[in-house]
Structure 1
Amino acid sequence: MSVDHAEAAAGDGGRESLAAGATVRTYAVAPGVRLNVRSGPGTNYNLLYVLPEGSRVPIFCQTPGTAVTGPYGTSKIWDNIDNGEFVSDAYVQTGTDGYVASRCA
């Protein structure tokens, strides 16, 4: 199984604090998946690192990019998990095939 990975490590308890004092929800990466974290919203962007199985990721914003097929269907949505770090939403259990966060500026 080819897995496209693109995410950053998440906080504990399903929430991660932001500097502004707000909180952002974290989401589970699909079971058994080591997810690639990329420098932009697509498979053509540089691979930065790979998240281990069982990771959770924050979603700060989302943006359209390369279509990827994963355990949660085919999606063009990419999740921004940190500054300059993106993962395909097709591998993140958000509970929907739509946007769960604001669009990235």
Structure 2
Amino acid sequence: MKLATIIALCAASLATMTDAYHIYNADVVNCRSSPSTSGSVVRTYKANDDVSLTCQISGQNIKGNALWDKTTAGCYVSDYYIKTGSTGYVTGKCDSGGSPPSPPPNGGGDAGPMKDDYPYPGQCNGVDPWRYFKCQCTSFVAWRINSRLGVKFDNYYKGPNWGNANTWGDAARSTGVPINNTPVPGCVAQTNSGSAGHVAWVAKVSGDSVTVEEYNYKRHTYSTRTVPKSSFNYIHIKV
């Protein structure tokens, strides 16, 4: 192959991607099959990982940023999580092949599959790594926040003692974590009802109903329920 041809091919290859940028704004970031949280997770990146971009495209709005970046792994990361130094395009637009996928209903996030993936079933003695008693509702939700959202949450998240479920609302407010009456998949359902309150994981939202996954609603075991969304407050750790 002639030298001029090799140089031309190298130049063309370089033109398809930019310099590496850092992952930030989260400990773990999902890279998805499409520019939306409804896209399947292809791979994950950790904070401060370097990623190179092949193109960018408009997609689901994430924290005020509707731009998504396609990495050299062939998947999409919200531009909110990539430190490009700009809120606009820093490389060429992706060939969309049609309109970008619509965002999930209700502006929702990604709750993951509905299944009992709690690591301590039937092992209900002692304290878990998140400083909660095993098989309690708080332990299950702390596990989900860590495993599904990639957030290093524990009983002293951002400083205060989150304690029993009936004090999670106050802890969220004191630390600036959003809490409201609007459920989205992947947020925490919280109520002060009962002697210690209750928290659950929001799996689905449909109209005025919400489906939650939970532990210890039925004596130290996993269960699901679909209830009116007015049954809970909703804590948005990440979504």
For the criterion TM > 0.5, the same-fold answer is: yes
Cα distance in 1 between the residues matched to 2:36 and 2:91: 18
Query: More strand per residue: 1 or 2?
Result: 1
**SS at 1:60 equivalent:** strand
Cα distance in 2 between the residues matched to 1:100 and 1:42: 20
- 2:91 paired with 1:101: yes
Name segments (4+ residues, structure 1) moved above 3 Å: 18-21
Cα distance in 2 between the residues matched to 1:97 and 1:53: 19
Q: Tell me the residue number matched to 2:78.
A: 88
TM-score (norm. length: structure 1):
0.70
1:19-98 alignment, distance < 5 Å: 20-22=12-14, 24-30=18-24, 33-69=27-63, 74-82=64-72, 84-98=74-88
2:70 corresponds to which letter in structure 1? Answer: N
1:77 corresponds to which letter in structure 2? Answer: L
Cα distance in 2 between the residues matched to 1:39 and 1:48: 6
1:34 corresponds to which letter in structure 2? Answer: V
Per-residue deviation, 1:80 = 0.5
| Uncovered stretches (5+) of structure 1, i.e. residues with no partner | 1-17
Identity of aligned residues (%): 30
**SS at 2:46 equivalent:** coil
Cα distance in 2 between the residues matched to 1:78 and 1:90: 8
Per-residue deviation, 1:32 = 5.0
- Judge conservation of contact 1:40–1:84 (CA < 8 Å) in 2: no
The 1:39–1:21 alpha-carbon spacing in structure 2 relative to 1, beyond 3 Å, is closer
The 1:64–1:96 alpha-carbon spacing in structure 2 relative to 1, beyond 3 Å, is same
Cα distance in 2 between the residues matched to 1:79 and 1:21: 18
Q: CA RMSD in A?
A: 2.1
Q: Which protein has greater RCO, CA pairs closer than 8 Å, 6+ apart?
A: 1
The 1:57–1:46 alpha-carbon spacing in structure 2 relative to 1, beyond 3 Å, is same
Cα distance in 1 between the residues matched to 2:81 and 2:70: 13
Deviates more, 1:20-29 or 1:93-102: 20-29
Query: More helix per residue: 1 or 2?
Result: 2
Q: Tell me the residue number matched to 1:15.
A: none
Cα distance in 2 between the residues matched to 1:21 and 1:103: 16
| Uncovered stretches (5+) of structure 2, i.e. residues with no partner | 1-9, 96-239
TM-score (norm. length: structure 2):
0.32
- Judge conservation of contact 2:23–2:45 (CA < 8 Å) in 1: no
Deviates more, 1:20-29 or 1:75-84: 20-29
